[in-house]
Amino acid sequence: MTNHFDSQISYTTDVSSKSLYKWCLRELDSEGRLVGGDWIPWKWSLYFKANHIMLEERWTASSLHSFEHNSEITNERYIKVNLAPDNPPLFGNRIHDLPPWYSILGTKRNINLFDLYIREVESEKEERCEIFGHVSDTSEIDFINVTTEDYFAIYLLVKSNTFDRYAQMIESNHFDKITFVIKDVSGFYSHWSPSITTDGIKVLTGNVNDVPDEGFNLPRLGNVGEAQLWFARKQEFPLSTPADTDLAHSGQDELYSPARQETIEADAGRDDPHSENAALLTIAREERATEVVEQIHSLKIAVWLVAAILLIQLFKQI
């Protein structure tokens, strides 16, 4: 089996600022020149989103000899979630902020394969989260050279009732988004920064054994200090626009205007004989009012005519 590394990994305490960190890992090319910068343990939170999820149950019967009846029966359930790096929620709407990249120390390649396996354990004391990774290698399998990708897999071990709840959610499709968060991961490295976010993570896997550490146990993939698994269900509600609000208000004004109210009252009382008499009385009153207005108009004309005649007589006397 051949592991595919592009550079050597060096441990050193010769750092420029001892107040920031005491030691670091560095990548060196074949001529011993530095590639990149100093890599120190990264302890802050890292986010992943689910691309797809699968619930699988596996039944196995095994026996040393086919004629034996005491076969060993195993029944195993697990949930497999394919993950992709994601931004923290705080930066989710900032287009220029890309999720961090991941790469194994000693390589130039990015890791593209991230899997989360959820398995069940018997008690709460056994619940834990572990992470394992492997650098790309080439092996001969059945006389064929097979090359595997760089990858890391996360194992989340939960008690049975928690696993059952997750399985029911998957079967009923009762969620829209899955977010997985890990923090204080052994074997994750990044450049020093005062920020709690990073552009990239370098990973030191357990199968890299040629790093001289002078008796110091380098943090390698294995333990996860903190893990969070979020199942989210999202539902959109329609929001009213200013145009819709203005239209609703104009409809209310029309509904409660005096003209509209008279129409409603007239329509509501068409089948009522009393309302019919009242309507006739209203019409008679309106006709009488019209006659009075016409009489007043005629009287005004007569007054103006008399005033004009008097004015003409006055000018003649002068």
Euclidean distance between the first and the last CA atom of the chain, given in angstroms as a whole number: 137
pLDDT at 139: 84
| Domain annotation covers residue 299 | no
Measure the CA–CA gap between 64 and 152, rounded to whole angstroms.
34
Residue 267 Rama label (left phi>0; alpha psi -120 to 50; beta): alpha
Amino acid at 135: V
Residue with tokens 């992709």: 84
| Domain annotation covers residue 95 | yes
HEC secondary structure over 95-159: CCCCCCEEEECCCCCCCCEEEEEEEEECCHHHCEEEEEEECCEEEEECCEEEECCCEEEEEEEEE
| Domain annotation covers residue 277 | no
- Domain of 18? 2-59+71-232
Low-confidence residues of the chain, pLDDT below 70?
Answer: 63-70, 90-96, 207-216, 240-318
pLDDT at 65: 61
Distance (Å) of CA 218 to CA 6, 49, 133, 198: 20, 29, 15, 21
Count of structural domains within the chain: 1
Kindly write down the DSSP assignment for every residue of 167-193, as one continuous string. Answer: HHHHHHT--SEEEEEEEEETTEEE---
pLDDT at 164: 94
pTM of the model: 0.69
| Domain annotation covers residue 300 | no
Measure the CA–CA gap between 47 and 40, rounded to whole angstroms.
19
- Helix H segments across the chain? 160-172, 242-255, 258-268, 273-317
Three-class DSSP category at 80: strand
| Domain annotation covers residue 262 | no
| Domain annotation covers residue 51 | yes
Q: Summarize pLDDT for 82-127 with one digit per residue, the tens.
A: 999 999 886 555 555 789 999 999 999 999 999 999 999 988 889 9
Three-class DSSP category at 236: coil
| Domain annotation covers residue 42 | yes
